[in-house]
Amino acid sequence: MIDIEGQKKLFAFIGNECKRKVEALAIGGSAMLFYNFSKEQTKDVDIVCLSEEDRKYLLGVLGRMGFQENIVPKEASLPYRFVSKDYVIDIFAGSIFHIKISEAMLGRIKEKVDFGNLRVSVISPEDIILTKCVTDRKGDREDAMGIIKEYNVKWDLVIQESQWQTDKGDKAFTVFLFDFLEEIYESGVQVPKEVLRKVRKISENEMLKVLRSGRGNVKVKG
């Protein structure tokens, strides 16, 4: 487990090893540590580089620093995992599983911290929820519930982003989001019904489009 102090030291360590400027987004639990949420520790540090080139450069830096490559992804949207005695770092590039880094998401960045040559940008709490929904681990659901309990989530942003992701990114994104929010709702955490209805509508429309285009297995009349 790593807390904000440990994370700051890690980023400063990486930033000092970088010989050129690199920008990365802190997502998930790493991003939550930058806010004063109740969560004060995270299992692993998740960062997203904005380009594959930056990711390759960071991988080289981590390799030189003595981190061991633990997971090598088969797809670009999956992370490289680097581990050391004290730290686990997942490094994505451009997308996180089923979610792409959008311009709107970059516009919602709340904070940028320069750790030497490494600039870490902190995504908004709404975007943390969105990035949590695609990983769908128990811990992620709990983190998202924590955010919803402690923060007035701007749900219109969540809906706008899910529409963008469906249009420009992975078509299945809204399905993941709907399942995720519904599970949270069933756990007793306040997710507005209107939000659930809108997200379901977007995912249903997308499924119908897929079925009508003949890419699905079921044929739809009309």
In angstroms, the CA 57 to CA 38 distance is 34
Q: Which of 116, 172, 185, 210 binds another protein (CB under 8 A)?
A: 116
Q: Element (H or E) spanning 115, and its range? A: strand 111-115
Minimum gap (Å) between residue 87 Cβ and another protein: 17
Contact between 113 and another protein by CB under 8 A: the answer reads yes
Q: Which of 2, 10, 27, 33 binds another protein (CB under 8 A)?
A: 33
Q: Which of 50, 83, 109, 189 binds another protein (CB under 8 A)?
A: 109
- Cβ closest to another protein, residue 38 vs residue 217: 38
In angstroms, the CA 204 to CA 95 distance is 24
Is the distance from CB of 210 to CB of 171 less than 8 angstroms? yes
Minimum gap (Å) between residue 108 Cβ and another protein: 9
Contact between 3 and another protein by CB under 8 A: the answer reads no
Q: How many residues bind another protein (CB under 8 A)?
A: 25
Beta 45-49 vs 22-26: how paired, if at all?
Answer: antiparallel
Please compute Rg for the chain using Cα positions: 18
Residue type, 108: R
Instruction: Name the segment binding another protein (CB under 8 A); options: 53-61, 104-112, 179-187, 204-212.
Output: 104-112
Contact between 114 and another protein by CB under 8 A: the answer reads yes
- Cβ closest to another protein, residue 151 vs residue 164: 151
Minimum gap (Å) between residue 15 Cβ and another protein: 8
What is the footprint of another protein within residues 138-197 (CB under 8 A)? 150-152
Is the distance from CB of 153 to CB of 125 less than 8 angstroms? yes
Torsion of CA 111, 143, 200, 79, to 10 degrees: 70
Q: Which of 197, 169, 167 is nearest to 181 (CA)?
A: 197
Minimum gap (Å) between residue 206 Cβ and another protein: 32
- CA 116 to chain CA centroid, Å, is 24
- For residue 26, list its beta bridge partners: 47, 122
Contact pattern from residue 72 through residue 91 relative to another protein, giving x for each residue in contact according to CB under 8 A and a dash for the rest: --------------------
The residues binding another protein (CB under 8 A) are: 4, 8, 11-12, 15-16, 33-37, 109-116, 121-122, 125, 150-152
